[in-house]
A and B are shown apart, each in its own frame.
Chain A
Amino acid sequence: MLTILFDGIAYGMVLFILAVGLSVTLGLMNFINLAHGVFAMAGGYAGAMLVNRAGVPFLLALPLAFLAAALLGVLVERTLYVHVYRRSHLDQVLFTIGLVFMAVAAVDYFIGSSQQFIALPDFLRARLEILGGNIGAYRLFVVAVCAVIATLLQVGLSSSRFGARLRAAVDNGRVARGLGINVGRIFTATFAVGSGLAGLGGMLGAEFLGLDPSFPLKFLVYFLIVVTVGGTSSLTGPFLAAIILGIADVAGKYYLPGTGPFIIYAVMVVILIVRPYGLVARSEAR
């Protein structure tokens, strides 16, 4: 029981890290980025390559995966996404789905369609007995890392200068620009961090989410659930949504193996019917 709860929390934490970037681009910048999973996949694959082929230590590979995904994010944002920010939602959907298709096929072509495994160092492979529950050291590690990141994000967004500028840029881009804030650069930086976190999540989660070329499509729904169900007014909403989703998914797989993700989709549809703008909604007008 405790094990399931803990696995669910670890799963939810990783989902949060994966999806938090999306909650900014999609929720705050109002840009429908269905290709978010591509950055997660990029980070995961970068991590797998570094650890398995180049022999880089796991702990060092994590920040490198973050960097790789963030760099890719900046590149894509500056060269491609800037052209579609102001387009209709249909354009954004088509554009980002196109990117997903390209990424899936490209990874398949260059690396192969088989599942990737990232070799864990020994000290993360142990299992610990805590409070009568059997908990993997790796899950503990994941929860710790994600908790630190979530705290940093919350503090950064609410009390740093950058966070204030970002919120200003999102709330009213024109006025923010008028006050001398470089909105474009803020968005690029945010996008980079979001993509980097997705990459980090992709590598952290490779152990229990799996990592293969279909990753961006397989988890697209999950990311979108976290963002839409959580709402976009704060980080708390997506965080809660991710944790609930993680626990529900793990518990569902354990107690009701016959239903699979069915319950999750059903819950999502119901929540969106009752609250079309998410659990923690900013305002109905957005």
Chain B
Amino acid sequence: MSAAVEAGFAHFRRRAAWRPLEYAFWIAVVASLLVFPRRLSFINEVAILGLFVLSLDLILGFAGIVSLGHVAFFGVGAYAAALFGLAVFADPLVGVLVGGATAALVGFASSFLILRGSDLTRLMITLGVASLLYELANRLSWTGGANGLNLAPDPVFGIWSFDLFGRTAAIASLAVLFLLFLLARRIVHSPFGLSLRAVTENRLRAGAIGIPTHRRLVAIYTVSAAYAGIAGALLAETTQFVSLDLLAFHRSADALVVLVLGGAGTLYGGLVGAIVFRVLQDVVSDLTPQYWEFWVGVVLVLVVLAGRERLARIPANLYRRLGLEGA
């Protein structure tokens, strides 16, 4: 192998190496469990939102697909886990896997719809698929319609049952988040992830140097759907309840907001964004419960007016300087 290729490999290996602050971030996450023992269900929600946003980041940040209906996979995962738990086997771990697998199937099927057409067609199709599933869950009798479904998952590994304080829930969700984050990190730094970046930046040119662009997009869309499905299934298992709210449009919009605030195209962006978003939501909702969405709207408008792409470089540079992301 020539020296230049060697150097290239070394460069990418350096990029993919773990930075000190990354260890610190995850230690802080674990520490939050001990520091805030009364807010464990809150931590659970943040972890699940973080995972959901991470899944959106995989397609928006790393593959440039604008989606208005990412909640579809979240909801499919949640409902699949719930229905499987009620009908077949109430083990939560299996439920989460079933949720992820079902969402991946739906994602794989719908990925072919988003390959063609313009951004607008993609927006419409993602939004349409999400609306379709929402109506389906609303009308079908076995999804409980507007009443939702109650679940009674078994204890995790047969030992830890889901308690009122959300202890098991928070630990389980964080564990899943961490594992899937590791996988996402691996994907992004792999040759596959690098080719995906090429596809995002210039699809025509990427195709010309021999990258199968369609197959790349289908693959990442499926992976992202699986992530979203696992996030939804986690929420279903840990709150032991699924309802139409899990398929509601505002979740897609919220995820976009979180990702944009945290920084799209950086793995930690979704996680940091989720923490900031939920803490802010907690604070603002205490002050004006109904009008949270108004402030979300204000922030969105201001962010775009101020130049989102310029602003997005701030968190990205910040993570880089802090050593959360490879340079």
Question: Do the two chains belong together in a single complex?
Answer: yes
Indicate if the CB atoms of A269 and B139 lie closer than 8 Å.
Answer: no
Are A265 and B300 closer than 8 Å at their CB atoms? no
B287-318 interface with A by 8 A CB criterion? 290-291, 293-294, 296-301, 303-305, 308-309
Q: How far is the CA of A105 from the CA of B297 in the complex (A)?
A: 9
- Give the distance in Å from the alpha carbon of A160 to the alpha carbon of B229 in the complex: 53
With known contacts A101-B297, A228-B121, A87–B113 Cβ distance under 8 A:
no
At the interface, yes or no: B223 with Cβ under 8 Å from chain A?
A: no
Asked if A239 is an interface residue, CB under 8 A from chain B, the answer is no
Query: Distance (Å) between the CB of B129 and the closest chain A CB?
Result: 7
B118 within 8 A of A: yes
B294 touches A265 (CB 8 A): no
Say yes or no: B124 contacts A228, CB within 8 Å: yes
- The complex places the Cα of A100 from the Cα of B60 at a distance, in Å, of 22
**A221 located at the interface, meaning its Cβ lies under 8 Å from any Cβ of chain B in the complex:** yes
Stretch of A62-70, A91-99, A121-129, A201-209 lying at the B interface: A91-99
Chain A residues with CB under 8 Å of B298's CB are 98, 102
Residues of A within 8 A of B303 (CB): 94
A87 contacts across to B, CB distance below 8 A: 304, 308
A80 to B300, CA, bound (A): 13
Rounded to whole Å, the gap between the CB of B286 and the closest CB of chain A is 17
Say yes or no: A262 contacts B132, CB within 8 Å. yes
- Residues of A within 8 Å of B116, CB to CB, are 276
B300 touches A32 (CB 8 A): no
Question: Which among B120, B260, B305 is the interface contact of A83 at CB below 8 angstroms?
Answer: B305
User: Does A102 lie within 8 Å of B135, measured CB to CB?
Assistant: no
B128 partner, pick from A80, A88, A106, A269, beta carbons under 8 A:
A269
Q: Which residue of A has the minimal Cβ distance to B257?
A: A94
A179 beta carbon closer than 8 Å to chain B: no
User: When chains A and B are docked, how far (Å) is the Cα of A222 from the Cα of B69?
Assistant: 15
Closest A residue, CB atoms, query B110: A269
Shortest Cβ gap from A91 to chain B (Å): 5
B136 within 8 A of A: yes
Q: From B308, which residue of chain A is reached at the shortest CB distance?
A: A91
CB-contacts of B144-165 with A (<8 A): none
Contact A276 B117, beta carbon cutoff 8 Å: yes
> Contact: B121 with A98, CB < 8 Å?
no
Contact present for A262 and B136 (CB under 8 Å): yes
A156 to B128, CA, bound (A): 33
Given the interface contacts A102-B298, A273-B113, does A89 sit within 8 Å of B308 by beta carbon?
no
Q: Mark B227-265, 1 if CB is under 8 A from A, else 0.
A: 000000000000000000000010001001100100000
**What total of chain A residues lie within 8 Å of the partner, measured CB to CB?**
44
Q: Which of A80, A89, A258 is close to B120, meaning CB atoms less than 8 Å apart?
A: A89
8 Å CB interface, A255-279 against B: 258-262, 265-266, 268-269, 272-273, 276-277
Which residues in A have their C-beta under 8 angstroms from that of B294?
101-102, 105-106, 109
Neighbouring A residues of B66 by C-beta, 8 Å: 89-90, 93
Q: Are A269 and B296 touching (Cβ within 8 A)?
A: no
B128 pairs with A272, CB closer than 8 A:
yes
**Residue-wise interface mask of A (26-50) relative to B, using a CB-CB cutoff of 8 A (1 in contact, 0 not):** 1000001000000000000000000
> B276 near A: Cβ within 8 Å?
no
Q: Are B127 and A221 in contact (CB under 8 A)?
A: yes
Question: Does B68 sit within 8 A of A, measured CB to CB?
Answer: yes
Determine which of B118, B132, B293 lies in contact with A104 in the assembled complex, contact meaning CB atoms within 8 Å.
Answer: B293
Q: Which residue of A lies closest to B264 (CB)?
A: A90
Tell whether B131 is near chain A: CB-to-CB under 8 Å: yes
A98 contacts which chain B residues (CB < 8 A)?
A: 296-301, 304
Nearest Cβ on chain A to B306's Cβ, whole angstroms = 10
Flag if A97 contacts B117 (CB, 8 Å): no
Is B281 part of the contact surface with A, judged by Cβ < 8 Å? no
B123 at the interface (CB under 8 A from A): yes
Contact status B120-A228, CB under 8 Å: yes
Q: Say if the beta carbon of B119 comes within 8 Å of chain A.
A: yes
Bound CA span A266–B294, Å = 32
A217 within 8 A of B: yes
Bound-state CA distance A258–B136 (Å) is 10
Which positions in A face B, CB cutoff 8 Å? 26, 32, 80, 83-84, 87-91, 93-95, 97-106, 108-109, 217, 221, 224-225, 228, 258-262, 265-266, 268-269, 272-273, 276-277, 286
Give 6 pairs: A residue, B residue, CB < 8 Å, sorted on A: A94-B308, A102-B297, A108-B290, A258-B139, A265-B132, A269-B125
